[in-house]
Amino acid sequence: MENRTRNQSFCVFERLRSVGLRPTRQRVALCNLMFGSGDRHLSAEELYEEAQKAGETVSLATVYNTLHQFTDAGLVRPLSAEGQRTYFDTNTSDHHHFFIEDENEMVDIPLGTLKLNELPEPPEGMEIVNVDVVVRVRRKSEASRNEAH
């Protein structure tokens, strides 16, 4: 993990260049924040806050644009949970998520623990690209916790 983290931020320039994005200061800064600490699920708002804390002068609009460029370039994968909120996942491989409702947080479902036995036939002339499953969870209330015992 440690090594991977270091490599990820080390590769920021190459990473941007390899997908045809000019490594501008803002892109590099946002890319570092996104990829600097392992796999993450961040909304544009959260990344914007982190950028502010890191002393970067970027607007929320720039953060949105940059995240969409990263998405188009295949660097991140967008995940929708809440109506208007999109999370950007730094892990672009196929995997599924828990969405913790009260905390507005996306967490990976461990690989292989969710089994999909049957998928619908895609509509005529279409093919399935990938399947994103979001399992919404919340903390058990005291009452239901007591019931369980």
Q: How far is the CB of 90 from Zn ion (least distance, A)?
A: 8
Q: How far is the CB of 31 from Zn ion (least distance, A)?
A: 18
Token pair belonging to 125? 């002339």
Q: Closest CB to Zn ion among 113 and 144?
A: 113
Q: How far is the CB of 74 from Zn ion (least distance, A)?
A: 15
Q: Closest CB to Zn ion among 82 and 108?
A: 108
Token pair belonging to 17? 């260049």
Q: Closest CB to Zn ion among 46 and 89?
A: 89
Q: How far is the CB of 85 from Zn ion (least distance, A)?
A: 15
DSSP 3-state percent helix, strand, coil across the chain (nearest 5)? 40, 15, 45
Q: Closest CB to Zn ion among 24 and 37?
A: 37
At 101, give phi and psi (nearest 5°).
-60, -50
Catalog residues that contact Zn ion under the rule CB under 5 A.
Answer: 89, 91, 108
Query: How far apart, in Å, are the Cα atoms of 18 and each of 13, 59, 71, 73, 76?
Result: 8, 25, 14, 9, 14
Q: Is residue 35 within 8 Å of residue 8, measured between CB atoms?
A: yes
Q: Closest CB to Zn ion among 19 and 133?
A: 133
Q: How far is the CB of 13 from Zn ion (least distance, A)?
A: 25
Angstrom distance (rounded) from CA 67 to CA 65: 5
